[in-house]
Amino acid sequence: MRWRTQVGVHRLAFTGTKCHVAFASSAERLVVAVRTGDGDTDIDLLLVDPNADGVTLEQKLTVASDAPPRAPGR
């Protein structure tokens, strides 16, 4: 997993990119696994609004010529 979280006073921020997010362009929310620490079990799931500030969706072609979206974070 490449996404990391940073806990702020009033919010949780994460950075990184998820590749091959099936149906991301038509989803109302994305379930994203993120690391919350350095331990093997320091992984949580976040419910992310794909229209939120700092979230972008990009389509990239694969070797199969389809275009699953990527969901880069900040």
- 50 Cβ contact list (under 8 Å, min separation 6): 24, 25, 27, 28, 29, 30, 57, 71
Instruction: Give tens-digit pLDDT for 53-66.
Output: 888 888 777 676 66
What is the Cα–Cα distance from 24 to 69, expressed in whole angstroms?
6
**Boundaries of every domain in the chain:** 4-72
For residue 46, name the pLDDT band (cuts at 50, 70, 90).
Answer: confident
Instruction: Give tens-digit pLDDT for 9-41.
Output: 556 777 788 877 878 888 999 888 888 788 889
pLDDT value at residue 1: 41
Residue whose C-alpha is closest to residue 14's, from 39, 67, 30: 30
Two tokens at 16?
Answer: 């990184």
